[in-house]
Amino acid sequence: MGTEVHRKVQVFSSEIVEDARLLLTQKTSEPVPQPHSFMIGAVIRTLLPLLVELRRKGYSLTMLTHLLAEKGIKISPTALSGYMAKFNGPIEEASVRARRERPQTSTSASQTRRTFVMKPDVTL
């Protein structure tokens, strides 16, 4: 603990503080500036309430991805489902249940349990 960093204490005039207060007060009455571009996660988060409502009305994930693609937002049904689940909790109960009930091959089942399965020798 031999080297301690000493920071210079900042001192501001009352004029600077008042100017900052006026600026911040002015900004509270203005709308929040919107970004000029969004990453796909922010797009889905922004549109989530509408997407959830359309899912409740019977739209499939594929239908939603086609609607988004019409506006230039390209996303796969799988990715859309993932984002919706991440931002809104488990929405796709039926598809999760279907994935769990899907039969597994013996190889993938042994990999899932992380056990080694020795296969019998094959004569050549």
DSSP secondary structure, the chain, as one string: ----PPPPPP---HHHHHHHHHHHHHHHTSPPPPPS---HHHHHHHHHHHHHHHHHTT--HHHHHHHHHHTT----HHHHHHHHHHHHS---HHHHHHHHHS---HHHHHHHHT---PPPP---
pLDDT in the model for residue 34: 79
pLDDT in the model for residue 107: 53
How far apart (Å, rounded) are the C-alpha atoms in residues 70 and 78? 18
Q: 78-107, pLDDT tens digit by residue?
A: 999 999 999 986 444 444 444 555 555 555
Question: Stretch 2-15: mean pLDDT, rounded?
Answer: 84
Is-contact 77 61, C-beta < 8 A?
Answer: yes
**Rounded percentage of the chain residues whose pLDDT exceeds 70:** 69
Band (112; pLDDT cuts 50, 70, 90): low
For residue 52, give both structure tokens: 């959830």
Q: Locate tokens 């598809």: which residue?
A: 95
DSSP secondary structure, 16-37, as one string: HHHHHHHHHHHHHTSPPPPPS-
Residue spans of the domains in the chain: they are 38-89
pLDDT of 117 higher than 90: no
